[in-house]
Amino acid sequence: MSTSILSEAAAGPSTDLAATSTVATPSAGGTAAITPATLRRFDVAGPRYTSYPTADRFVDAFGADAYAQALRQRALGARALPLSLYVHLPFCASLCYFCACNKIVTKHHDRADDYLRYLAREVELQVAQLGHGALVSQLHLGGGTPTFLDDAELAQLMEMLRSAFVLAPDGEYSIEIDPRTIDESRLETLAAMGFNRLSFGVQDFDPAVQKAVHRIQPAAQVFDLMAAARRLGFASVNIDLIYGLPKQTAASFDRTLAQICQLRPDRIALYAYAHLPERFKPQRRIEAAELPDAATKLDMLSRSIAALTAAGYVYIGMDHFALPSDALAVAKRQGRLHRNFQGYSTQPDCDLIALGVSAIGRVGATYSQNAKTLEEYCDLLDQGRLPVVRGLALSRDDVLRRSVIMALMCQGTVNFEAIGLAHLVDFRRHFAAELEALSPLVSQGLVTIGAHEIDVTPTGWFFVRAIAMVFDRYLQADRNRTRFSRII
């Protein structure tokens, strides 16, 4: 499933802890205390900033024509720069109750054949504007369940992409995998197709939790697949976990974490479950009374960070961990970390071409999203039109604030001079109101403001979304946050 949709922090009621309770968070210098008052203060809704402005700001006025113009402009001015590709494959054979992704649950595999034909039409329309043979250095297949497609269908998809784009020999080519849909033979086939990175959806190894969310998969199955992936030489393997699921406890999740540390994947994505049954129908099958409260979720997060860092993982930020040798950790050390619609990425400022129903892309200073329903997506392509139905052309202020927010989210620091030179502004003067608004967060130990930069503290990483929200002009203007999930 696409992390851009799943990875919303969990919604939940405010917690009223005993006044003496604290949660210890690991840091280079020891531990930092998160007090009950801090928990209550930041038990609010807010964006995850996989983009800025956020996708809820997209407008219908930005459609296929505006997107086509952005593609043509890129073909003229930035063609030599590599692209990132995202392909959304929405089909799943069974329903996971926690899922908030754009998916189609079906047992009819012939639907994948039809979908591939429409993807081919979309690729043709994109290339007509972008130009044939654009270089691609990053490809990600998400969903849904990409491995719903059989080997022949995946091979057809890869051939389609290779016929339209040039896939760099040293590129990153990843696919999301439901372990229940694959074996060693299929992994070998994926490697032969050119995939060099895998992401296994695990969520939790506890049988009671798996039953509660309708996703039964024995731990032994994942261990076998991990061993096979190592033998086949995949460059990086990611494991997705979710905390805040029904029937989870801090102790039960500790057991899952211990197994994950035994697996030793290269990357770990640790997402908070967002319980939004009014928006996502499958979640109505989850008993709200069985969900851990905000205090327990924060305890899970704190213990997870402690366990994973003790096991040698680098805390990339928010919900991502990686071994020091992994490309994601290297990118963070080198200041090249970026955040896009799939989460953290090693490629800063890389245009993202998005293919498939509901897919969101970025070209230049624009964002675009395809039709969300399969019917509308196919209908637009039948008319010979790009299936973009909404998006946004960023203003100069949007681009400036995006730089600040991404610096906070990815590096935990904002250098005034670097931002000022890049955007021709006096940072302290331009953001005087925002620096003043950060003062309470400084006193609460979440950020420090020096003469030349803003730095997020170890405690602040738990609430980095709240720090970034200070620089969100749209959010500060309307204060309408009900459409977002909660930070804790």
| Residue 96 marked in a binding site | yes
Single-letter amino acid, residue 72: R
**Cα separations in angstroms, 110 against 148, 153, 160, 392:** 11, 10, 18, 35
Q: Is the dihedral of CA 98, 99, 104, 105 positive or negative?
A: negative
Coil, helix or strand for 227?
A: helix
Rounded to 5 degrees, what are φ and ψ at 174? -125, 160
The encoded tokens of residue 376 equal: 């509308």
* Residue 222, phi-psi category: left (phi > 0), alpha (psi -120 to 50), beta (remainder): alpha
Sheet holding 413-415, edge to edge: 413-415, 453-456, 447-449
| Residue 391 marked in a binding site | no
| Residue 100 marked in a binding site | yes
CA distance 473 to 33: 30
| Residue 359 marked in a binding site | no
Task: Yes or no: say if 138 and 172 are a contact pair by the CB < 8 Å rule.
Answer: yes
**Tokens 């697949």, residue located:** 225
| Residue 240 marked in a binding site | yes
Q: Give the strand pairing for 104-105 and 134-143.
A: unpaired
Helix (H) or strand (E) holding 413: strand 413-415
Reply yes or no: is the peptide bond before residue 144 cis, omega within 30 of 0.
Answer: yes
| Residue 410 marked in a binding site | no
Coil, helix or strand for 391?
A: strand
| Residue 261 marked in a binding site | no
The encoded tokens of residue 277 equal: 């049954």
| Residue 362 marked in a binding site | no
Tell how many helices (H) and how many strands (E) occur in the chain.
19, 21
**Within 10 A of 230 (CB to CB), how many other CB atoms are there?**
11
Task: Yes or no: say if 39 and 295 are a contact pair by the CB < 8 Å rule.
Answer: yes
| Residue 144 marked in a binding site | yes
Coil, helix or strand for 375?
A: helix
- Rounded to 10 deg, the angle between the 151-164 and 110-130 helix axes is 10
CA distance 50 to 62: 19
Q: Give the strand pairing for 236-243 and 197-203.
A: parallel
**Within 10 A of 91 (CB to CB), how many other CB atoms are there?**
22
CA distance 182 to 151: 10
| Residue 350 marked in a binding site | no
| Residue 271 marked in a binding site | no
| Residue 143 marked in a binding site | yes
- Write the DSSP string, 185-215: HHHHHHHHHT--EEEEEEE---HHHHHHTT-
Reply yes or no: is the peptide bond before residue 53 cis, omega within 30 of 0.
Answer: yes
| Residue 64 marked in a binding site | no
Residue list for the binding site for [4Fe-4S] cluster: 92, 96, 99
Residues that constitute the known binding site: 86, 92, 96, 98-100, 143-145, 176, 203, 215, 240, 274, 360
From the annotation, which residues make up the binding site for S-adenosyl-L-methionine? 86, 98-100, 143-145, 176, 203, 215, 240, 274, 360
